[in-house]
């Protein structure tokens, strides 16, 4: 079922809640520039195994309210806290993809892992999405600036080009149109403002705050968040488990959906 949870300043966030009410909760946090619907192929299967799947549309995306403000990692992490408390979730597996992984990491640091028992980082945009001194991985800030410019000039074209980067394995033309539609459900300004956060925010200092079992799921062919991101996170998060996907890119939860769903279930069950 779907409903809204009210967070800071009356902003309503859309929540999709499917699966047994007493099932182990998995809270899905989507990446840029999508919404909770990108995890359709997890919602189709994981409830069969007894998991309660809770998909959240971040502010500005999908069916959530779209305020002009509030697109920093801190605010997005604070929004998560309100959703978790409002739904009275406990023993949560927090799963973040891409930018959602960065927000999940910020949540673990800013809210001391409140009510989280496992963390799943899927092609996470961390510890930094952009390059810096002694860190040659990811996009340059100028490349992200170009994405922001295109967001304001021709967002449908941006989304079409991003779909080509997102999936390493072939997708059908109708599937690509569906993917573009997920992005178009956001506003242009929320898409741009979160890209600013991707460009400017880093999470090096947050990683030491992660004290729950952590699974790192990353495609070796990822053209958005390079595979090195996953390797660095695995090295810096104590006791983490690494799940590499040799033939997948950024959209590994679709292109390797059967293996990913099985690995996610294994990770959760082994760390309960």
pLDDT tens digit sequence for 14-69: 999 999 999 999 999 999 999 999 999 999 999 999 999 999 999 999 999 999 99
pTM for this predicted structure: 0.98
Mean pLDDT of 145-172: 97
Q: Is residue 218 flagged as an active site residue?
A: no
Q: Is residue 190 flagged as an active site residue?
A: no
Tokens linked to 58: 């971040």
- What is the structure's pLDDT at 33? 97
- C-alpha–C-alpha distance, residues 170 and 176, integer Å: 10
Question: Exposed e or buried b for every residue in 103-136, given b needs 16+ CB within 10 A?
Answer: bbbbbbbbbebebbbbbbbbbbbbbbbbeeeeee
Q: How confident is the model at residue 88 (pLDDT cuts 50, 70, 90)?
A: very high
From 95, 90, 93, select the one nearest 115 (Cα to Cα). Answer: 90
- What is the structure's pLDDT at 1? 84
Mean pLDDT of 123-132: 98
Q: Is residue 114 flagged as an active site residue?
A: no
Q: Under CATH, which architecture does the 2-270 domain have?
A: 3-Layer(aba) Sandwich (3.40)
> With 90 as the cut, is the pLDDT of residue 71 above it?
yes
Q: Angle 27-45-119 (CA atoms, 0-180°, nearest 5)?
A: 30
Please report, for the chain, the start and end positions of each structural domain, with discontinuous segments joined by +.
2-270
Q: Pick the catalytic residue: 79, 222, 256, 263?
A: 222
- What residues are paired with 121 via a beta bridge? 96, 216
User: Which whole-number Å values give the CA distances from 221 to 78, 121, 148, 159, in the listed order?
Assistant: 32, 16, 24, 19
Pairing mode of beta strands 116-122, 92-97: parallel
Residue 57: DSSP 8-state: P
Q: Pick the catalytic residue: 16, 79, 97, 98?
A: 98
């Amino acid at each position: 079922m779907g409903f809204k949870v009210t967070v800071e300043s009356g902003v309503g966030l859309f929540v999709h809640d499917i699966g047994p009410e007493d099932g182990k909760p998995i809270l899905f946090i989507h990446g840029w520039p999508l919404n909770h619907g990108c995890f359709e192929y997890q919602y189709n299967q994981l409830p069969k195994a007894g998991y309660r799947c809770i998909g959240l549309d971040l502010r500005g995306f999908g069916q959530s309210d779209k305020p002009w403000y509030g697109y920093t990692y801190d605010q997005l992490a604070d929004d998560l806290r309100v959703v978790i408390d409002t739904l009275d979730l406990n023993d949560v597996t927090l799963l973040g993809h891409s930018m959602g992984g960065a927000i999940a990491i910020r949540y673990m640091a800013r809210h001391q892992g409140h009510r989280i028992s496992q963390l799943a980082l899927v092609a996470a945009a961390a510890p930094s999405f952009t390059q810096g001194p002694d860190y040659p991985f990811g996009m340059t800030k100028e490349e992200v600036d170009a994405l922001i410019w295109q967001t304001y000039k021709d967002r449908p074209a941006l989304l079409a080009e991003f779909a080509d980067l997102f999936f390493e394995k072939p997708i059908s033309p109708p599937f690509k149109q569906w993917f573009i539609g997920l992005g178009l459900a956001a506003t242009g300004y929320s898409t741009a403002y979160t890209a600013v956060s991707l460009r400017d925010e880093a999470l090096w200092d947050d990683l030491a705050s992660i004290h729950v079992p952590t699974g790192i799921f990353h495609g070796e062919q990822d053209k958005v968040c390079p595979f090195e991101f996953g390797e660095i996170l695995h090295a810096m998060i104590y006791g983490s488990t690494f799940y590499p996907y040799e033939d997948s890119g950024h959209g590994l939860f679709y292109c390797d959906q059967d293996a990913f769903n099985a690995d996610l279930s294994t990770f959760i069950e082994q760390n309960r």
